[in-house]
Structure formats: C-alpha cells, structure tokens
Chain A
Amino acid sequence: MPYGGWGCARKYWVEDMKVEPTEEELVAPGHRACAGCGCILAMRHALKALGKDVIISMATGCMEVVTTPYPETSWRVPWIHVAFENTAAVASGIEAALKVLGKRHVKSVAIAGDGGTADIGLQALSGAIERGHNFLYICYDNEAYMNTGIQRSGATPYKAWTTTTPIGKVKRGEDRPKKDMPAIVAAHGAPYVATASVAYPLDFIKKVKKAAAIEGPTYIHVQAPCTPGWRIEDSKTIEVARLAVLTGSWVLYEIDQGKLNVTFKPPKRRPIGEYLKLQGRFRHLTDEDISEIQRAVDEQCKRFGLE
C-alpha cells in the first residue's frame, strides 16, 4: 500500500476553492524527460492551473532542454528561453510589453530550476520582485544542477551526495543547509509566496491559480524529485515527495500578504529516516547523521507550528 494512499491527495486540498485539474494538456508528451521525472510533472500541473493565456520564460535547465529539442517543442503556449541567470529579467520585459500592448488577460510566468533561482538567478529575481512586476515565478526544485550532471546547488539539502559534494575520506556530502528561497522572496515583500510538492498536485494547482490571480510578483517553490539525481527508483518519485512532506522535511505553506499559513499539517509526523532511506543520495548516512538531520527537521517544524 503506498504510504498515505490516495486519500492524502484529496483530503487536504479542501477549503473554499474548487480545484479540479483540467483535461487540457498544455505540455505535450514526447518530451525527453527521464522516466519518472518529477519536474516535468510539476510543469504539467502548473500549466493545468495557468491555462493558455500565459507567456512562459524559462531558464536553461532540465526542463528547457527536454521540452525543446529543435525542431520539436512540447509547449502549447508561447514560450521563450534566453539564458540561465536572467529568467526574471526576461519575464520583466515581457510583462512591460504586455502592459504596453494592453493585454491584461495574459500573464507573464517565469519558470526556473533551483540553480537558476537560488544561485545564478538570484539577482534577476531580486530585481524583478523589488520592481513589483506583475508576474509569477515558479521554481522547480530538484535540489541540484541536474541538467549538467548532478552538481550541488544552493538548494542541495544538508549531507546529500552530489558530484561536487561526494562521499570521501575527509568530506562526506553537502556540508551546508538548504537555502531558504521562499523566506528570501517573502523578505522582499512579495504579496504571495508558497511552497508546494508534486505529490500534492491539488494543493499545488490551487496555489498556482491563486498566485497567478494576484497582480504583483508572486512566487511558488515546488519540490520535485529527480530519479537519477536523488538515486531513487523511477516509480518512487511521488512516494518520496510525499514522504518529504509527511516527515516535516518539506513544509507546505503559503505566506499571503505576510501572513503565514501552513496548508498541510501531517497527521502524525513520520521519522526522517523513512524519507532518507529511499534515496541513494543519502545512503552513506550514519545513525548519528540521521539524528542530526532529525533535530534540524524538528526545529523547522517547531517554527511552522507542526508537532
């Protein structure tokens, strides 16, 4: 029985909004994503929430590469790729042009990976939010530079293996904690910031719809597992993503006009070991390591008011 079962997906999206994912597929199949890729699923869900009246600017990364091998494209909406670090700047230009053309029903949406957001893309994102452009920024977080072969990024979690934080005799894995991007964006005063997970698609879709409806800079950070990068089985993508939420390692929340609101509280928080043991990138952890990580997760949950 898959942990949590299907009940979790439906039980916890409720509230007042009726969110039924549309049938329309704005991301066509035939893309070159890996089997079981969590990120392309995030794209698919996001587009279901956004609909066709968007212009997407995307950063160099896994999603850009797998969806647009010339002369084919998976996108059924207008889409532009420019470079790695300037997605938010391109989205700003698009938003200005849309304003000039009077196309109020079209939304400028920027999509980038964790590398193109937390690291090299941080400047452009910061500038775009500070200027208050009306755009939505979605960061799909697979916790490393996956497109170039699993190198660490600022979003790589503590003690994870990547090719640039390998397990050796002296150093064992990533020695820095994960950069808290939603907090950084919230500190800019963005009107809406939210975290999401591919395992909770209805929550994600609702947040995207909400964020897109707000006029101003909004940000959604969706965690999406990578099967080769996290060293997990192809079929376990959703299970791992769900465990991240159920162990409190990834908290689903939104900061709506500065007010924090946790959108999903796991009923009985599972020990972090259950999440870590499914992933090859954490295979090297000793019991001590796991306890250390557990302590960090406990502290995080305390901050969010989760037991």
Chain B
Amino acid sequence: MKQVLDGNEAAATAAKLARVKVVSAYPITPQTTIVEKLAEFIADGELDAEYIKVESEHSALSACIGAAATGVRTFTATSSQGLMLMSEMLFVASGLRLPIVMANVNRSLSAPLSIWCFTKDAKVLMGDLTYKSISEVKEGDAVLGKDRNSNLRFTKVKRLFRRRTDNLVELKTDKFNLICTPDHRFYYHPTHEHWIQARSLKSKFLPWFGFGFNDGSDEFKRGWLAGVADGDGSFWWDKQGRHTFRINVKDEIIVDTFVKYCFNFGFDVRKVNYRKNEGLSTGIITLTKETTRLKKFLNFSRNADFCGGYLAGIYDAEGSGPSKVKQVVIYNSNPEILKKISDALALLGIKYKVYIDKRSMNYHTKVNNVPEFFIKCRPVLERKRNNLLKMTIKSVKSRLKIEDVVPIRENTEVYNLETDTNNYIVNGFLVHNCDQQDSMAVRDSGWVQLYCENNQEILDSTLQAFRVAEELLLPVMVCLDGYILSHTAEPIEIPDQAAVDKFLPVYKFPYPLDPEKPVTMGPLGVPEYYEEFRYMLQEAARTSKEKLVEVEKEFKKRFGRSYGLIERYRSDDAKVILLTMGSLSSSAKEVVDAHRKRGEKVGLVKVRSFRPFPNKELIEALGQAKAVAVLERDISLGSAGGLFLDVAASFINVKPAPLMLNFICGLAGRDVSPIQIKEAVQAARKAAETGKVKRAVRWLGLREEVLG
C-alpha cells in the first residue's frame, strides 16, 4: 500500500508494524512527530503497547533497557542534544547486549542556544509581514525564515530565551541601530550561504528585507483605498449626471476591509450582494456628493505611507504572482495609473520594470524584489501575501550598509528565539538562531548505525533493525537527516502487517529478568573478565555486517527492496569517486550525473552502514579509483571527519590505494550546493592528475577572510 509520509512518520509506522510493546521517548525537535505519531497509534488502539511518558532522554533509554531486559520489544527516538544526554545509556545498552532499536534524527549538536540574542527593541518579521518587538513574540507565533533550500517560509517559534549579559555590540546603520551579541550570525551572501558574526559586520552590505514602514497609519490605509479603487473600482458619471462609485472583487475580504477603512474616514460605502452568484462581492456609493468627496480624498500623495498603501491596494486588487514567474506583476495599462504606480515605486526605492506587450499593448509592471515589496507594501489579502513563500532568499535585492559596530558593555536584558528553520528576520536582516554540527561522537558506543537517504529507506531500515538487533543481541540506531528527511513527505510503499509478522518473529531474549529463572544483569565488571566481555562485544559489532547482509537478503525476497552496506552509483569505472552518507548523497548523485553527461568518469559511493564499518566493501568499490573525495557533515574535533578517518584506516595496508581528500561541509546549518560539490570533484581530479595531495582535509564553503 502506498502512502505519502515524511521521514518521521515512516519511522513511527515501522515501529508500529514491528509490534513494539514498550515505547519510551522524550520529545526534541525535529524528532517530535515520531513520538506524537506513536502516541496517536497507541491512543487509537492501532498499536498495542505501553507508552512511558519519560521526563528526559536519559530516562527514555533507561526505561527501554529495563523493558528489553524483562523480555519485550522496545523502541525509542531522539536527536542531537537528546542523544548526548542518553549517551551514558548507549554504552550500557550495548554492554548489556540488549536489542533496542532507536531512530536518531540527525540534527547537529548545538552550542548553547541562548548565546545569541538581541535587545528588546529588535523587531522580528512575523508571518503576517508585520514587525513585532522580540520581547513580545510568543511561542507558537509564525515568523518568516528560510529553509535549507533557501526558500522563504513561515516558521513556528519553538522557544523563547531571555537572559542578561553585558557583552553586546551595536550595529549602526543610517536607518536604525540594532544591539545584539557579538557572535550572532547574519546572512550575508546569497550565492554562498554565508553567515557572518555581528562583530565582523562593519562596512558590510547585508541583504535587507526592508523595515520601518508604518502600515497601521491612516496614510497607508488611505493609500490602500486609493490603490484598490484604481485597481478594481470605478468612478463614473451616469446618464443622469450622478457620480457613483463601485467596486467589484472576488475576495470578499477586500470589500469588507474597504468598507471598514472608509467608515473610519467617515465614508459610508454599502456592501451589496447582487453579484454574489457570479462569485463577486460589491461595494457601492451612490450619493454624488459622497462619491466626489471620496474621489478627492483618495488623491495621490507623495509620502511613503501613502505610496506603500497604494501599491498594497493595487496589488491586492489587480496584482499577481509570484507564482511560476518569480515576480510581482501588476497588470494595468491606464497611463494615469501607471504613472502613479511608477511614482510610488520610485518613492519607496523599489526597483521595477515596465514591460509593454507589443501585440496587445498591455503594460505590465514587474517587481523582482518581492520580499521588499511585500514588506513595504503589505498586502491585506493573506493568500496573496503567502505568495512570498514562492520566493527564495536570492530575491532580496536590497542591501543595507552596516556603518559601524560599537561594543556595548552595559548589563542589559536580551532575547532570542528558537524556530523550526533555525533562522528568523530581525530589523530586515536574516539571522541564525543556533549553530548546527553533526555528531559522530557516539560511533564508539557499540550500536549498529545505519544512515538513510530517503523515507522508504527509513521505513525499511527500521524494520530490518529489529531483526538484526534481536539476532545479534546488539542495539541498532537508524539515522535520518533532520528537517531534510524528517519533514519532507514522499510516497512510500508500506508493507502489510501479515508480511511483517512473518519477517519479524516474536521477541525472544535469551535470559530475561524472570522470577522463575533469576539472573543478575549488570554486575560489577572486575578486571579479570572485563577485557573478554569487550572482545565479545567487539566481535558481535564487527560481524554484524554478515547479519545485516543476511537480513537484507531475506527482506529483498519478501518485500522486493534492499540497500546494501554501501551503494555504488556509476562508480565502477570512475577515476574520481565521491564518498557520502545520508541525504547528501542525493545532491552528490546529481553532480555525478552532470559530470557523466560531459563524459567525465566520476562516480559516487554512498555508505549506509557506518557501524559496522564496511571496510572490505569499500576497498572493493574504491580501490581502482585514482582519487576519492569524502564529503561529510561532521568533524571529529582535533582530527578529521569521522568517515574519512575510518575509510583511510581501511586502506592502510592495502595496495593499490586511491588518494583521499576530506571535505567538511554542511556544518552550521548550511546547504551543500552543487557548486561546492563540484569544487570537491575538481580538487579530487587535480589530485588524480598530479598524483599529489597538498591538503587532505578541507572545508567547503568557508569564507577564510572573515575568520577571527
């Protein structure tokens, strides 16, 4: 049966199909939906299990250990910080040889979240495109941010932070001053995804969304009325010499707002419904005196608020986009109105172009810098406002110069927000709210680690994990990239329960805790025996490879899919091979395709099982290449990337061995763009040609000139 699920739902569904009996997990972004989904399954009776609502991740794994030792199938899930909190228990679980399965949603480790803050007069751009003081933002509010693919999107505020500090800097611009902590990161360069710390911002031109317009003012409202009237309304003198005004629109809310604003200004517009069956709402004024008065009232004025409102109004009425074309387009050929539009845009400093369609002689006014337009001329219609989400961060064309950065040493109250996308907009600048760095820290814990590339793989790997764990008596961790896989949905094939029951027999633990046959688990490990136990554990961990292959074979027979310990993508005759793990593999595969189209022999090997490390398989897959570029989203601080270290060690006594380069990328919440991957390929090709590697460990996308 096919269903559209995101990565988290896939993991939860797999646990349900495996008929786990005890679930004990603690919520943490971005794993929360796994826990919530399982709770739903249990609450609806779809999964017959005990759900322990533990009070921390450490307790979550502890409870799993207790339950698994007593003799039932268990499941838990966590991410980054939670994984670190339960790391003590990871080692105990493998030491006790308990077959626990865990889903780990890779979210890189944080520096403490609350380090980067603003003072309370910093204004945050909310989801409705108004600005609100950061101190007034509440949990659950929607703010504007960008996702990992640079698309603008609304993101929820997950947490608020407040503290006091005296280590601040003031950023001075010619429009406003902003006070924040010196290492707060601001978005700087659209094409290379660079975030720079506040202290290094002097004389830099930052992408700027726009700020400082009062759209609640009367002038703005007046401008809006004028815009709507010019767009969808009409003033005319009828045959009897009466001056009438009428406005016809599809969106009832425009008429309602029009009526409301007019009422505030002392005009009585009547809302009528006689074109309701055509789907139109209408507002009219029939009294001549009133109409004339209104027309005069809506005279064009050259001030910022009026112009902003005017453009908002005309966009609400007649504008369109961005949709497929990433621009705001206003279709209006009336030369008077065109002039007004142009004047307004010029006054507000928004770049625009007027196109003339020669055949129909229609004039289109097009604006590329949609975010700036929407913020300065905030549309009333929410559905039109949400068109902003079709834009990416690259559409922010305006720049604001930071004139000076001045340190401030007064003890002040400061605030920060944690959002889903880990960024938000303050005073028109895009800022980051936490550092992200993948963690390989628990690779020594004795757990089998599988890294998944897509949601189908997550579901299948989780099902396989139970079988592998229970036959090997080793716990298994199924890793999926947070935000990328956990939150994106794809159609997945879900096996039916009967088939899974045949694949996963009833849980059997050889020596469960049972009063009929009392055993002692977790005794004091005296030196006489400890080394032997660790050897036994290492043997189990090392030979889990064979078990994984065996289980996959059976899985393929029953369900038709298998993934292998590694995946070789167009690498058999490649001279340069990229080595990746997880969802990074998808982007890398596209780069490989691009190179292959040009006839270059480039390939990709994806590592799925990181523990046990597939050294034999990698030697076979990489041996004939001239150079291997290992790209990974982590670094073992003080050494090199974890994957690189293990691959390099595999080749230590082997000939022939390719030259190897390590590329640390995708840290600090950055996307790894195809350009960066191409850089890696180029470096590897150079090494292959010259036979030499100058620097084995490099970073992709690093701006060396801003390093402190």
Contacts and interface: CB of A to CB of B under 8 A. Distances in A.
A106 B513 CA distance: 11
A127 interface: yes
Contact of B22 (A64, A96, A123, A126): A96
Interface stretch (B186-194, B263-271, B423-431, B516-524): B516-524
A71 B529 contact: yes
A83 B21 contact: no
Interface string A84-113: 011011111111111111000010100000
Contacts of A127: 54-56, 59
B521 A94 contact: no
A304 interface: no
Interface residues of B, number: 43
Interface in B1-47: 21-22, 24
B88 interface: yes
A82 interface: yes
Given A65-B524, A78-B515, A82-B89, A96 B62 contact: no
A294 interface: no
Contacts of B519: 78-79
A129 to B, nearest CB: 10
A52 interface: yes
Contacts of B64: 93
A69 B524 contact: yes
Contact of A78 (B52, B55, B92, B518): B518
A90 B63 contact: yes
A73 B66 contact: no
A80 B513 contact: yes
B22 A75 contact: no
A131 B52 contact: yes
B27 to A, nearest CB: 14
Nearest to B23: A96
Decide if the interface of chain B is mainly helix, strand, loop or mixed.
mixed
A97 B520 contact: no
B56 A123 contact: yes
Given A86-B89, A123-B59, A75 B520 contact: yes
B525 interface: yes
B63 A77 contact: no
B523 A68 contact: yes
A70 interface: yes
Nearest to B60: A89
Contact of B526 (A70, A94, A99, A131): A70
A86 B525 contact: no
A215 interface: no
B522 A81 contact: yes
B58 interface: yes
B70 A98 contact: yes
Contacts of A130: 55
Contact of B66 (A70, A75, A85, A92): A92
A81 B66 contact: no
A233 to B, nearest CB: 28
A124 interface: yes
Contact of B515 (A53, A70, A83, A123): A53
B54 A68 contact: no
A195 interface: no
B514 interface: yes
Contacts, number: 155
A94 B515 contact: no
Contacts of A52: 515, 518
A76 to B, nearest CB: 6
Contact of B63 (A53, A83, A96): A96
B66 A68 contact: no
Nearest to A80: B521
Given A69-B524, A93-B66, A96-B67, A124 B59 contact: yes
Contacts of B521: 79-81
Interface residues of A, number: 45
A79 B72 contact: no
Contact of A101 (B71, B89, B518, B528): B71
A25 to B, nearest CB: 13
B529 A83 contact: no
Contact of A89 (B62, B71, B525, B529): B62
Contacts of A83: 62, 88-89, 92
B566 interface: no
A142 interface: no
B78 interface: no
B53 interface: yes
A79 B520 contact: yes
A82 B515 contact: no
A80 B71 CA distance: 13
A34 to B, nearest CB: 16
A82 B518 CA distance: 17
A194 to B, nearest CB: 24
A301 to B, nearest CB: 35
A55 interface: yes
Given A55-B515, A79-B518, A83-B92, A124 B62 contact: yes
A78 B513 contact: yes
B22 to A, nearest CB: 5
Contacts of A95: 66
Contacts of A81: 521-523
B297 to A, nearest CB: 64
A92 B92 CA distance: 17
B21 A82 contact: no
Nearest to B64: A93
B622 interface: no
Most buried by A among B69, B70, B71: B70
25 contacts: A52-B515, A55-B513, A69-B524, A70-B529, A71-B529, A78-B513, A79-B513, A79-B519, A80-B521, A81-B521, A82-B89, A82-B92, A85-B58, A90-B63, A90-B65, A92-B24, A92-B59, A93-B22, A93-B63, A96-B50, A97-B22, A97-B50, A101-B70, A124-B56, A131-B54
Interface of B: 21-22, 24, 49-50, 52-56, 58-60, 62-72, 74, 88-89, 92, 96, 513-515, 518-526, 528-529
Given A99-B50, A127-B54, 15 more contacts: A70-B525, A77-B515, A79-B520, A81-B522, A81-B523, A82-B96, A83-B88, A85-B58, A89-B62, A92-B59, A93-B52, A93-B66, A97-B21, A97-B50, A130-B55
